[in-house]
Amino acid sequence: MKFTKNDIDALNSIVTITIEEADYQERVDKQLRDYRKKAAIPGFRVGMAPMGHIKKAYGKPVLVDEINKILSESLFAYIREENLNILGEPLPAPSDKPVDFDADKEFSFSFELGLAPTLDLEINNEIALDFYQIKATDEEISKQIDFYRERMADSEEVDTVSEKSVLKADLTENTENGHNVESAMISVEFVKDEDVKNMFIGNTVGAQISFNPMAALGNEAEVANLLKVTKEDTEKLNADYTATIVSITNYKPAELTQEFFDKLYGAGAVNSVEEMQDKVRGELEHNYFHDSEYKFELDAKKYFTDKHPFDLPVSFLKRWILESNRSNKDSKLSPETIDSEFPQFENSLKWQIISNKIISQLDLKVEQHEIENEAMHEMYHYFSQYGFNSGLESYVQKFAIDKLQKDENYARQVAEKVMENKLFRKMREIVTLNTIETTPEEFKAMMS
């Protein structure tokens, strides 16, 4: 077998593989012997047909199959041995000479390769990057404390409806044999129509108020929930009702007492208003840190791509994208679509090349347990959205590991995420960080 590499330029090469008879004949003969053992040829017992008959029936297909196997094996072995950093996959090069499997004994095939550029890149503490540290404001801290107080508010039944009252009321549709709802809950604060809201305020238990729920709330889903009907039941949704007030409840925000602190954070964890303010400040700034990380990642990508510009084998990559999607019947990719979307793909690929260079330089590795932990973290987050917060550890672990084992694409995506997180964490340790304190509002304006 012979290999010839012709460099078109620094980013494009053509590799020609010449396969000689000695490279394939033994493999072809073995396959034909195996076929002979199983072949049912009319006039002969199974396994007893002459080899001439077997070659006539199966010789060409077996030859083509073995040549294709040898091509694939040898091409990628050559790429590995020559340490060629290719982009995409090799593409068959156009040829003026058709392959004649009936007459030829020697076969030559050429492949186009798109090559990644060689980068002279080093990451060290001479690189300075901004890191925005978002500081919680006193106003935000107060709002968050008020939220906690409202969440743990004390309830008390009162005699008169106020703007903050929650009413339990029996609803009767204002038609003969109309729809009735017992113990419907109405939060006066969330009544959008001011006229209807004022009709409730100041009333007492037993009072009757005629109103239109759709006009009052202005939301089909909320009205359907209030009336215990479906959104499709438009007749009941848009009808007028009479509300008979059964009870009136006001909610008083919890006082900033030790009992409140203990309920919220655990016994003795917080012992004063000042300590709670510090605790809330830490919570808010912990949440903001993810935004700071994201901004750093954007800035780091821009720094390295601007600092280390390079070209890609654009024509090759466009052809490779088109060919890769040709077998997908649902694909709507056309040369025009690829041209319009290529800049985004190009930027992503350039960062991939740069990040792989840095990862190699830093010798970063992703361990299986890190992939499993990240998958479990994602699953916990997913299930918590549906109210499952505890007692799921063993289930989530099994579910995550099972998905990793069965879904190769998911496993690859999780591994890439773990590696990218590890890369940026290590990058923050190495480069010189120019820490800039900012407020949430300033940061939001900067990111918009």
Same domain? 196 vs 248: yes
Same domain? 303 vs 385: yes
Same domain? 294 vs 204: no
User: Is residue 354 in some structural domain?
Assistant: no
Of the residues 252, 272, 294, which one is the last residue of a structural domain? 252
Is residue 390 predicted with pLDDT exceeding 70?
no
> What was the pLDDT predicted at 406?
94
pTM: 0.75
User: Is residue 278 in some structural domain?
Assistant: yes
User: Is residue 101 in some structural domain?
Assistant: yes
Same domain? 272 vs 248: no
Same domain? 441 vs 300: yes
User: Is residue 148 in some structural domain?
Assistant: no
Of the listed ranges 129-133, 235-239, 392-396, the one predicted with least confidence: 392-396
For residue 45, give the CATH number of its domain.
Answer: 3.30.70.1050
Same domain? 220 vs 292: no
pLDDT digit string (tens) for 136-155?
999 999 999 999 999 999 89
Parallel, antiparallel, or unpaired: how do β-strands 86-92 and 180-187 relate? unpaired
Token digits for 95? Answer: 């040829």
User: Is residue 74 in some structural domain?
Assistant: yes
Q: What is the spatial distance between Cα 230 and Cα 179, in angstroms, rounded to a whole number?
A: 13
Is residue 270 within 8 A of residue 279, CB to CB? The reply is yes
Token digits for 364? Answer: 């970063």
Region 429-446: what's the mean pLDDT? 96
Same domain? 134 vs 173: no
Q: Which residues of 178-209 are buried (b: 16+ CB within 10 A; e: fewer)?
A: ebebeebebebeebeeeebbebbeebebebeb
User: Is residue 347 in some structural domain?
Assistant: no
Type of residue numbered 58: Y
For residue 224, give the CATH number of its domain.
Answer: 3.10.50
pLDDT category of residue 106 using cuts at 50, 70 and 90: very high
User: Is residue 191 in some structural domain?
Assistant: yes
Type of residue numbered 244: T
Region 231-241: what's the mean pLDDT? 90
Please state the domain count of the chain: 3
pLDDT digit string (tens) for 289-312?
999 999 999 999 999 999 999 999
Token digits for 120? Answer: 């002279």
Same domain? 244 vs 380: no
For residue 99, give its domain range: 2-115
Alpha helices, DSSP H, located in 407-439? 408-430
pLDDT category of residue 352 using cuts at 50, 70 and 90: very high
Same domain? 274 vs 165: no
Same domain? 83 vs 213: no
Same domain? 301 vs 420: yes
User: Is residue 337 in some structural domain?
Assistant: no
Reference 270, options 278, 261, 257; nearest CA is 261
For 375, half-sphere exposure in the C-beta direction (CA atoms, 13 angstrom radius) is 27
> What was the pLDDT predicted at 141?
96
Same domain? 386 vs 420: yes
